[in-house]
């Protein structure tokens, strides 16, 4: 597949001086089924990985942010990657990545670690969609965005900036990510607001007023903690 990194990994130096490409919101960077000739790294903006069924049902697999890597697949892309906001990416031929990973064992290790993190994210999503209620899923989603922002800004977990959550994607996008309908996402935001967990200055922002409460709802100690879900039955 294609997907996201999260930290500055050693292998990312293949993108130094790489050609840049600008995308408008809505533009497709990668089409499902296309040959995976290039790999990308995000410089600015938000993108999303989507998979669309024969009958039109769409699942958003992941949202991607600056410094996230795109290109986790063997020879063909199985999923599409689309710009959510205007964005800039840098690209390199896949072969450049591959020879880098072959030559430098350290880079190979870092790359593998990134793939593991992507796999973790995917499993987090499986757990969310499979086990949590609508409100819980939206709560987890906000914590997920908060954590991404924390990584992008490279700040402490208690940094005040993190309480203001940017929501560049539409309600429909969120719904397709969480396995809900857009109306349900909207109602869930309203509920979190009414319960005092969040407030909503405008449609593309949410402010976390009660982090502990959100985390409790999500059944999570800390989104980036090693034992996220806990292990007792």
Residue 227: which of a second copy, DNA, none does it interact with, CB under 5 to 8 A by kind?
a second copy
Indicate whether 32 belongs to the interface with a second copy (CB under 8 A): yes
Q: Which is nearer to a second copy, 104 or 210 (CB)?
A: 104
Q: What are phi and psi of 153, to 5 degrees?
A: -80, -15
CA distance 165 to 195: 18
Class of residue 186 by CB neighbours under 10 A (exposed 0-12, middle 13-18, buried 19+): middle
Q: Find the shortest distance in angstroms from Cβ 84 to DNA.
A: 11
Indicate whether 198 belongs to the interface with a second copy (CB under 8 A): no
CA distance 178 to 145: 13
For residue 208, the SS3 value is strand
Indicate whether 79 belongs to the interface with a second copy (CB under 8 A): yes
**Beta-bridge mates of residue 53:** none
Q: Which is nearer to DNA, 100 or 197 (CB)?
A: 197
223 close to 146: Cβ distance less than 8 angstroms: yes
Q: Which is nearer to a second copy, 54 or 154 (CB)?
A: 54
Q: Going by C-beta distance under 8 Å and a sequence separation of 6 or more, which residues neighbour residue 148?
A: 6, 63, 65
Geometric angle at alpha carbon 1, from 14 and 67, rounded to 5°: 40
Q: Which residues of 145-179 are buried (b: 16+ CB within 10 A; e: fewer)?
A: bbbbbbbeeeeeeeeeebeebebbbebebbbbbbb
Q: Find the shortest distance in angstroms from Cβ 157 to a second copy.
A: 19
Q: Which of residues 148-187 bind DNA (CB under 7 A)?
A: 170-172, 179-187
Binding residue (CB under 7 A) for DNA from 203, 216, 222, 229 = 203
Q: Which is nearer to DNA, 13 or 204 (CB)?
A: 204
Indicate whether 61 belongs to the interface with a second copy (CB under 8 A): yes
Q: Which of residues 122-141 bind DNA (CB under 7 A)?
A: 133-135
Q: Find the shortest distance in angstroms from Cβ 2 to a second copy.
A: 10
CA distance 176 to 168: 15
Residue 184: which of DNA, a second copy, none does it interact with, CB under 5 to 8 A by kind?
DNA
Binding residue (CB under 8 A) for a second copy from 115, 134, 207, 211 = 115
For residue 232, the SS3 value is coil
Q: Which residues bind a second copy (CB under 8 A)?
A: 1, 3, 31-33, 51-59, 61, 72-74, 76, 78-80, 101-102, 105, 108-109, 111-113, 115-116, 118-120, 122-123, 125-127, 129-132, 176, 178-179, 219, 226-233
Q: Which residues bind DNA (CB under 7 A)?
A: 133-135, 170-172, 179-187, 189-190, 200, 202-204
């Amino acid at each position: 597949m294609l997907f996201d990194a999260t930290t500055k990994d050693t292998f990312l130096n293949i993108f130094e001086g790489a050609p840049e490409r600008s995308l408008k919101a809505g533009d497709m960077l990668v089409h499902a089924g296309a040959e995976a000739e290039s790999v990308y790294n995000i410089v600015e903006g938000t993108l999303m990985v989507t998979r669309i069924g024969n009958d039109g049902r769409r699942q958003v697999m992941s949202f991607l942010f600056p410094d996230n890597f795109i290109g986790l697949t063997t020879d063909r892309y199985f999923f599409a990657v689309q710009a959510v906001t205007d964005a800039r990416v840098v690209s390199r031929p896949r072969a450049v990545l591959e020879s880098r990973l072959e030559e430098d064992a350290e880079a190979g290790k870092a790359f593998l670690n990134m793939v593991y993190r992507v796999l973790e994210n995917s499993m987090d999503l499986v757990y969310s969609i499979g086990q949590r209620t609508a409100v819980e899923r939206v709560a987890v989603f906000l914590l997920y965005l908060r954590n991404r922002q924390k990584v992008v800004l490279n700040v402490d977990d208690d940094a005040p900036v993190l309480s203001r959550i940017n929501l560049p994607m539409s309600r429909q996008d969120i719904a397709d990510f969480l396995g809900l309908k857009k109306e349900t996402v909207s109602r869930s935001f309203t509920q979190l607001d009414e319960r005092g967990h969040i407030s909503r200055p405008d449609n593309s922002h949410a402010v976390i007023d009660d982090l502990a409460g959100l985390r409790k709802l999500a059944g999570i100690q800390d989104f980036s903690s090693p034992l996220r879900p806990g292990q007792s039955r």
